[in-house]
Structure 1
């Protein structure tokens, strides 16, 4: 925890700014702005395209924030994750792989590392859909503006999105020759070079080329292997051509290529400095509130800790602070990975008399692979060897959007119709394997369950000579009677699961999505509008998977111990089978294939009534219905419970999850003048079939979550997978997000702008929960969810900024003083909401001061992000395979960074 002094300064920055999430104008250039000011023009026009046509932000009756490229530059934004500082309703984070980055709006987002789940918050760059929000976690280069649409987007916006949409518009080519060059040096030996040039290639053609190169040492020090993790080594090149033969036609082509060759993402053990409540409790039951003052989970009082230490875990990893960035993974294991992203797009705008035709065509390819020490400990339990099959994912996406828009009935109707098509080919490949010490570690878990005194980690089977005690017990009858030889043989088989597992699982999914939509604004009077939108979406997904696996000890133990599953030794026999076959890692699947298909049809849309009592004030009320496609869990662990996997009757239907739908209600107002603007929105969003992906310490669970209108009598909160069913007629929304958003901006003088935004969002599960909408029970791993807030969904978030650019004397020099802050309330970072994953509230402050030359031709800036070096986590999670003797690990947020940037423009 940081000092009260530091938090007071940060909160003072928030309070002093008195304003909203940034809505700095980008529709006018500087000369037009100055001319308007000189003529005493009252309104400062902010133009967005959130409704498929250019409109003043003040006239758009939806919750949307617009952020200018200038403000993003001052805020140090280089990818969408950095936009957390300027939008209080937005939270972007990444976990075990940056490709899995997740964006949340109003507390709603897609959770976890499974690419089969689409993003709740869709990301578009220059009108082209990025297949997953994590695909945009790379350098963006020069930005013209960003629009953040809050709430379901079920009419426009290309792909459907159940929680919101982020539209990024890159800086376009210009017909005036110019260029720039920026150089940044910062701590962690950060070097960033940016450069670009734009200008005419003739009277009707302009071009632009931009490039970014960024390298930096990692935030984590891998003590074991002598390297740095979470480094930066990436670059981006983007080229554009703009063709404007006349006022009625424009055509813009954009091509880009980016590459990342980085080691990501390390984690540390959770300690009491992060989670004081994460303590060893009676029975080590993680679902029970820990006893105050009890030992930390990393204490030797936790029986699994002496096992880890005996198997080689460096004790420093268990005694340091959660936020000490020294890590002690397994020797020889690597987090190295590579990401490649490229694409080309074309946007045509053609004025055909009174009708405007817009066509946006895009093709993109994205690939990522990432090695990992997947258990994040010094014991070799689970790993992915770096290479083309290391948790790899590849997207090939073609999208086409067509829109026709115009007016009718003497401009009483502003109409728009369109169509959208997307073909997405997704392939994931995996080589996840048990490490060289997994068998011994797993056998030790069995020893702890039988009798901790029997555990001997120095022995391969963790029993050694103590195995004789099992055989000789009960006067020679054996500790388990006639089944003793089977149990002993099962332990020995389990101990041999070393460097076994996936040899190359391949999942393929082809998605074809087409939609027809219309969006119409009816001007009932000069001040009263009715907006009606409707969209029909058809989605087809074809899936197939082929598995490669060499874990022969799983079928050996399945055959040996399955006869015991129906008797008094079912728990022990089941534990041995489950540990031998974790995640359905079994040679029985080697060479096996499955295939399936799912189809969906959905109608979504919106209705908005808006009224302008004055030219500067807009009030509105809206209803909308959104949708996110269902799909396939691209993980073999979901095929069946490992105890009962039947490879001769594989059922791919078990991999399916249903589409997520949302009904949203909103009322709001917007007041806008040049010196002052204010907006407020109150919302309620009800999600049915909410798609949840959570890691339970062994496998990733993907489950739909719904509510039950009848009381389940807490049967959804017990450890049974069979209790807590609901009658299908009583099933309803399982997640509700409701709250209020306030935004304001104040610019009392030309050189001073202050902004503030506050979001209060109660994003919670209903009190009685079931799984799918047929009323089947909730998975017991999720039994803490009923009635609680969603993970990574703080109730209160506030952002603020202050920008001051005073002139210095009469030499044409000007200063730059910029500061922004984000205050985040308490929230739980774990999707299963286990105790010990709670993140206390924190404040992150960024700042920048500088000197700017005449006409902005050059600048020198000193900057700092996370100025007060606030320690906080992105996600805390169950350490792999350590349950039920539980420990947690955490992916940490970035520490303080600072440096100097020089800029030159011509």
Structure 2
């Protein structure tokens, strides 16, 4: 036991040099867990073995099927049992199960962002790639917005942390989510799932699969899901911040010969997201909307109980987006025979086509009042009634082709190599209506075509020690066309401005590392890798000729250092995976200020300098006894800005309460025309809590005299405080919170049915997925009205489980 404990101590202490005082408690806790499991492993009584072992976890992160414990990389795996036990519906459920993930929400799916280790895309638009890629059955999604729909028929989700550019391409600079759908079953089976909650969520899911002939097998799955939302719209009695999805996925597998496999996988989805809106939580009394005397807050917000936990709004225009997605993948694989020089090698061709369209809409004023009747345009009545709103669309068409050669798993030298082609055509149109200074209208097309040669190898140059190398050579052709039209109330597409540009770029990414198997149950590794994300364009309503002259925004680059240990303990009853990392990002693409050639200070997309994320992660599973399985995930992440001297400011009230002044370290900077900017060096990135912890488990209770058995489940997650505003506004700080869920049910011994009951957010703990703050805008009182009087208000976006709710679920197999 002493030798094993010393080995764990050496591994961890080697990776955690010079700990800061505030980090000691976390690091000591992690070390204690490792030593405790080590001690348990050393003292385990073989005679007590009841045959309960952890099942091997197979992943495809390296484009080949491997045991998770043999992959030298930080990967968290959510298997089918975990997804079902936690009723996972879509990507928004993943942060509750994987500590490395957070999601930042916009006002519609096109503005959402997936963050990995605190790093995500904080500048939105079709000219900016995501930092985290989503890959489904080897096929990347062309635009991240398309991932915010039902995760239909999913078998496994792999969370790949840190840059994955070498194998997964340029949209994986911060990480990737690798999704594998369910396989076709060997015998014909039909499965159904029905789920209902007391707050009006429903799911109806069915799948059937099996063999049609000796060479053809098929799988078909369909689902209809919906949730009305957590917000109450007092205008029409409806609900918001929910979603509805209809999804059909198929899979046809054909084996025309002993060495051939052909898989066709079509899919289609229709989605309707009615959110995301943010109700008021505080507001200074006595305000007027847009300082209009006829629109006092007491009238336009009538009936809204402004205060903590408020979920009531007033809105007379739809919010969110309606999407449609269809496409297909085609995989053809050939395994070379024993008489071939490439015996055992697999040559694969993976082709895909995807088409995604999203119509989005938003109530700009967020009211149901007749705002325009009292709005003056050039000192005269606007001549319109109602409020301000916007409509738009996203369109994405993606074509990909991957040709790769995978060596056999046996032998000292193993590799995968291939060629990649991807073509994305994206369109964005946005129209703000019907009149006034806010009115605008544009249409933008972005295109990027990439070609790459890639390869990764593992060479066991000494017994139990391998050298890991990888390289990707990538060429990308990019460009855009941007048309600005005469703004509303014009209803004709009269072009007032047209901009276009083309660019080409070459880049190289790679990795190198060492992997050493201390014994059959312990593997340690060290890895250096680089990441790359392509050039970007600011294709938003702020684009002008002056801004375009300074584009494209340079590419992002990343350097990642990572070390870890993968341990099988207690005679394969337990698993503990540890990783420490430090990743630096240069040229992060972010909206910030600059001086254009005519001397004007503007805000646009450009490179802000640098970010750094570092920390410690742990994943553990423990089959305590045959009936009891526990799992845990932990992440300590310090994601900070290292260079951003012209960052955004937040505002505070002056001492007399009559004006707005810059807050924080905001001050005039001569480099930026003496405009107030904030130096954000050393500040924490938004939505990046330092500590996240996930715990879960299931206990199966055999009932010998019954035709069914019982089971009990539990899940708990906790995260430290986080800030939601990049400008570091303290009013956007979400405090630490923990959420507990419990469940119980019965399961037929012949696996014909399973009936489950769940209590979600057991202790009724309210928390937000977004917080906002405004001072002196929208609502105010100033001359010519009696004043001056500044109105401050705050908002929140309540989580799906911001309050306690109950679920019943029935799974059946035929």
Relative distance call for 1:853 and 1:119 in structure 2 (3 A) is same
Deviates more, 1:212-221 or 1:527-536: 212-221
Structure 2 runs not aligned, ≥5 long:
1-28, 35-47, 337-342, 373-385, 595-600, 648-669, 780-789
| 1:118–1:270 Cα change, 3 Å | farther
CA RMSD of aligned residues (A): 3.3
Please point out which of 722, 727, 734 is paired with 1:832.
727
TM-score norm. by structure 1 comes to 0.73
1:607 corresponding residue in structure 2: 512
Q: 1:589 to 1:662 in 2, by over 3 A?
A: farther
- 1:519–1:782 Cα change, 3 Å: farther
Which secondary structure does the structure 1 equivalent of 2:166 belong to?
coil
**Residue by residue, what CA displacement relative to the aligned partner does 1:297-319 show, whole Å, maximum 9, x if unpaired?**
53448997886953775345775
Contact 1:515 1:536 in 2 (8 A): yes
Tell me the distance in 1 between the aligned counterparts of 2:673 and 2:537: 19
Partner of 2:226: 215
Partner of residue 205 from structure 2, selected from 173, 191, 194: 194
Paired residue for 1:534? 471
- 2: CA distance, partners of 1:875 / 1:308: 31
Contact residue 829 and residue 839 of structure 1 kept, 8 A? yes
Equivalent residue of 2:608, what SS? strand
Residue in structure 1 matching 2:450, options 503, 513, 519? 513
Q: Pick from 316, 319, 331 the counterpart of residue 335 of structure 1.
A: 319
In structure 2, do the counterparts of structure 1 residues 868 and 132 end up closer, same or farther at CA, with 3 Å as the change threshold? farther
- How many residues align? The count is 708
Work out which of the residue numbers 639, 655, 663 in structure 2 matches 1:763.
639
How far does residue 172 in structure 1 lie from its aligned partner after superposition?
2.0
Question: 1:427-826 to 2 correspondence within 5 Å?
Answer: 427-433=427-433, 497=436, 501-502=439-440, 504-550=441-487, 590-639=495-544, 652-654=548-550, 656-673=552-569, 674-693=572-591, 701-706=604-609, 734-766=610-642, 769=645, 783=678, 785-826=680-721
Residue deviations 1:137-187 (CA, integer Å, cap 9, x gap): 111222211111000012112454111000111112223100111112212
2:412 counterpart residue number: 412
Alpha-carbon shift at residue 328 of structure 1 (Å): 1.9
1:892 aligns with 2:794: no
CA offsets, 1:871-898, max 9 Å, x none? 2222223559549965443332123442
Aligned equivalents of 1:225 and 1:411: distance in 2? Answer: 67
Q: Distance in 2 between the 1:755 and 1:870 partners?
A: 23
Question: What is the CA deviation profile of residues 80-117 of structure 1, one whole-angstrom value per residue up to 9, with x for unaligned ones?
Answer: 11111211111134221123221111111112542322
The Cα shift of 1:227 comes to 2.3
Name which of 729, 737, 753 aligns with 1:842: 737
Contact 2:485 2:493 in 1 (8 A): no
1:743-779, CA deviations, whole angstroms, 9 ceiling, x for partnerless residues? 21111212211111111011101266368xxx98699
Larger relative strand fraction: 2
The farther-off stretch of 826-835 and 776-785 is: 776-785
Question: Structure 1: any 5+ residue segments left out of the alignment?
Answer: 1-14, 21-36, 272-296, 436-496, 553-584, 640-648, 707-733
Distance 1:847 1:113, change over 3 A: farther
Which whole-Å deviations, capped at 9, do the CAs of 1:386-415 have from their partners, x for residues lacking one? 7xxx2310100001111112169x922112
Question: Which of 362, 369, 385 is residue 352 of structure 2 equivalent to?
Answer: 362
Asked if 1:258 is matched to 2:269, the reply is yes
How far, CA to CA, are the matches of 2:360 and 2:135 in structure 1?
24
Structure 2 length-normalised TM: 0.81
User: 2:335 is paired with a residue of what secondary structure?
Assistant: strand
Q: Is the 8 A contact 1:746 1:755 kept in 2?
A: yes
Q: Within 5 Å, give how 1:238-387 maps onto structure 2.
A: 238-271=249-282, 298-300=284-286, 309-310=295-296, 314-316=300-302, 320-329=306-315, 332-335=316-319, 337-352=321-336, 353-377=343-367, 380=371, 385=389
Relative to structure 2, which stretch is displaced further, 792-801 or 822-831? 822-831
Contact map agreement 1:339 1:367 (CA 8 A) in 2? yes
* Residues 846 and 804 (structure 1), Cα distance of their counterparts in 2 relative to 1, 3 Å cut: same
Distance 1:769 1:510 in 2: 31
Question: Which digits, 9 at most, give the CA deviation of each residue in 1:345-375, with x for residues without a partner?
Answer: 0122221223211221111011111211124
